[in-house]
Amino acid sequence: MSLNHIRPWRNIYRRKSRQIMVGSVPVGGDAPITVQTMTNTLTTDVAATLDQIQRSADAGADIVRVSVPDEASAKALKEIVRESPVPIVADIHFHYRRGIEAAEAGAACLRINPGNIGSKQRVREVIQAARDNGCSMRIGVNAGSLERHLLEKYGEPCPDAMVESGLEHIRILQDNDFHEFKISCKASDVFMAAAAYQQLADATDAPIHLGITEAGGLTSGTIKSAIGMGNLLWMGIGDTIRVSLSADPVEEVKVGYEILKSLGLRHRGVNIISCPSCARQGFDVIKTVETLERRLEHIKTPMSLSIIGCVVNGPGEALMTDVGFTGGGSGAGMVYLAGKQSHKMSNDQMIEHIVEEVEKKAAQLDAQPASATQAAE
Ligand code: SF4
């Protein structure tokens, strides 16, 4: 249960945005901040794409984006949408026909910039297809592909140019009386993206899709995303997020969740609190945490586990976690349940034992009425 009323320094006041639907998933308003990723398989390879979508959904993805670069991909999309466990966003660039085909194929949302698809008539046709098929849209401004007239006006990509681009695309949709859209303004430069998102947050009430684009590999991209998106989320900006990594989409989902988890904005699975370890450790903390992360991947219930090397910080951390283990002497440590010292356990049986205790606690939390746990979401 959330204790933020007695810990006001943990509160984040979310920007008030209006809510849209991406298929069955609400985005914006008071809906939970959703986590997205994007497939990197050939869309025409339906089996491989669905496999990636399924793995991403298992890791917690609420929404998955799929590229639709050609007509064959739009055809494949129909099958993908039918089998997918989560709503699919079709990624469209320039070609308005792909947008219409994707909407007809059942995409829940089109990622498309209406200013880039040509004549007013074409824009109208895409909007009509979206409307007819219950499909929302995402305007995706990217510092790397700003319109020429804005680059000429501003001299180089900058937050003002990005926001102006976004507002121009918004106007086109509004002029066509289409309001089911969200918007992103991504840049690989953290400062530029953060400044652009802050301006955008003031300029529109549309739900905001956050992202630091082309952030890099798993480690560097995670850090960049956590700094950029973390700051914005902390300010209350962002209704849905995508971490862009040169890595498996499943990693993007995991990192996205970790960012939300560290800000208390979303909870899923076991939040492991562990010490870095040092000469005082009563067991191998690093190896244990690595193993437990793997062994506890299947737990979706929000809960916490502390794995601490010794009594310097162990009992204190265990006070605030559902299950805890603190290293001691003679090859054994102490197990804590619900913050209280419970029983001793030998190091060599500890992993199996902790997995059992966590599974037991998860089952117990799952059995509680929703009202007791929903505060955590
Ligand atoms: S909790 Fe103990 S083992 Fe872990 S880093 Fe601190 S002093 Fe070292």
Chain segment 333-374, per-residue pLDDT in tens: 999 999 999 999 999 999 999 999 999 999 999 998 765 544
CB under 6 Å to ligand 1: residues? 275-278, 280-281, 308-310, 312-313
Q: Which residues of 333-342 are buried (b: 16+ CB within 10 A; e: fewer)?
A: bbbbbebeee
pTM of the model: 0.89
CA of 223 to the centre of ligand 1 (A): 24
Number of the ligand 1 atom closest to the C-alpha atom of 281:
3
Q: What is the Cα–Cα distance from 212 to 245, expressed in whole angstroms?
A: 9
The tens digit of pLDDT for each residue in 239-276 reads 999 999 999 999 999 999 999 999 999 988 999 999 99
278 CA: nearest ligand 1 atom: 8
What's the gap in Å between 327 CA and the centre of ligand 1? Answer: 9
Residue 376 has pLDDT above 50, yes or no: no
> What's the 188 CA to ligand 1 centre distance in angstroms?
37
Q: Which atom of ligand 1 is nearest to the CA of 282?
A: 3
For ligand 1, atom 2, which residue shows the shortest CA distance? 310
Mutation choice for ligand 1 from 285, 287, 311, 312, CB with most ligand atoms inside 8 A = 312
- For residue 165, the number of C-alpha atoms closer than 13 Å in the C-beta half-sphere is 30
Instruction: Measure 281 CA to ligand 1 centroid, in angstroms.
Output: 6
Distance 321 CA to ligand 1 centre (A): 17
Torsion angle (degrees, nearest 10) of CA 271, 264, 197, 118:
70
Name the residue of 272, 277, 283 whose CB sits within 8 Å of the most ligand 1 atoms, as the mutation to test its pocket: 277
Q: What is the pLDDT of residue 219?
A: 94
Whole-number pLDDT of residue 374:
46
Here the tokens at position 262 are 């560290």
Contact at 8 Å (CB) between 268 and 297?
no
Q: What is the pLDDT of residue 1?
A: 45
Per-residue confidence at 2, pLDDT binned at 50, 70, 90? low
| Residue 29, Ramachandran bin (φ over 0: left; ψ between -120 and 50: alpha; else beta) | left
pLDDT confidence of residue 3: 55
Can you give the pLDDT at residue 118?
A: 82
Please give the number of the atom of ligand 1 that sits closest to the Cα of 280.
3
**What does pLDDT average to over the chain?**
93
288-293 own/partner pairs: CB under 8 Å, 24+ apart: 288/350, 288/351, 291/351, 292/351, 292/354, 292/355
Ligand 1: nearest atom to the Cα of 327: 3
The pLDDT tens digits of the residues spanning 36-83 come to 999 999 999 999 999 999 999 999 999 999 999 999 999 999 999 999
Alpha-carbon Rg for the chain in angstroms: 23
Two tokens, residue 154:
């501003």
DSSP assignment letter at 194 = H
Pocket test for ligand 1, best of 283, 287, 313 (most atoms within 8 A of CB): 313
Q: Give yes or no for a contact between 276 and 312, defined as CB atoms under 8 angstroms apart.
A: no
pLDDT, tens digit, 9 for 90 and up, residues 187-202: 989 999 999 999 999 9
For ligand 1, what atom is nearest to the CA of residue 275? 4
Angle at Cα 360 formed by Cα 357 and Cα 350, nearest 5°? 15
* Structure confidence by residue, pLDDT tens digits, 95-152: 899 999 999 999 999 999 888 888 889 999 999 999 999 999 999 999 998 999 999 9
Task: Tell me the best of 288, 308, 336 to mutate to test the pocket of ligand 1, counting ligand atoms within 8 Å of each CB and taking the most.
Answer: 308
Task: Tell me phi and psi for residue 40, to 5 degrees.
Answer: -125, 15
Q: How do 332-337 and 340-346 pair as beta strands?
A: antiparallel
Distance 326 CA to ligand 1 centre (A): 10
Between CA 51 and CA 245 the distance in angstroms is: 19
3-state helix, strand and coil shares in percent for the chain, rounded to the nearest 5: 45, 20, 35
Q: Cite the beta strand spans of 98-168 per DSSP E.
A: 109-111, 136-142
Both structure tokens of 129: 């297809």
pLDDT value for 230: 97
Query: Which atom of ligand 1 sits closest to the CA of residue 313?
Result: 1
Q: Contact 89/107 with Cβ under 8 angstroms?
A: yes
Task: Give pLDDT, residue 94.
Answer: 80
276-280 own/partner pairs: CB under 8 Å, 24+ apart: 277/309, 278/309, 280/309, 280/310, 280/312
